[in-house]
Amino acid sequence: MSASRPVTFAADRRSALPATLERRLDHIEHARASLAAEVRRLERIGFEDPLRRCHEERRYWDFLAAVHGMAVPAPAAVRDLLA
For 7-20, what is the mean pLDDT? Answer: 92
- Per-residue CA distances from 9 to 35, 52, 63 (Å): 10, 18, 19
Sign of CA dihedral 16, 49, 59, 39: positive
Residues 32/57, Cβ–Cβ less than 8 Å: no
Using CA atoms, how far apart are residues 17 and 47, in angstroms rounded to an integer? Answer: 30
CA 11 to chain centre: 5
For 60-81, what is the mean pLDDT? Answer: 80
DSSP, collapsed to helix, strand or coil, labels residue 4 as coil
What pTM, to 2 d.p., does this model score? 0.79
pLDDT digits (tens, 9 = 90+) for 45-66: 999 999 999 999 999 999 999 9
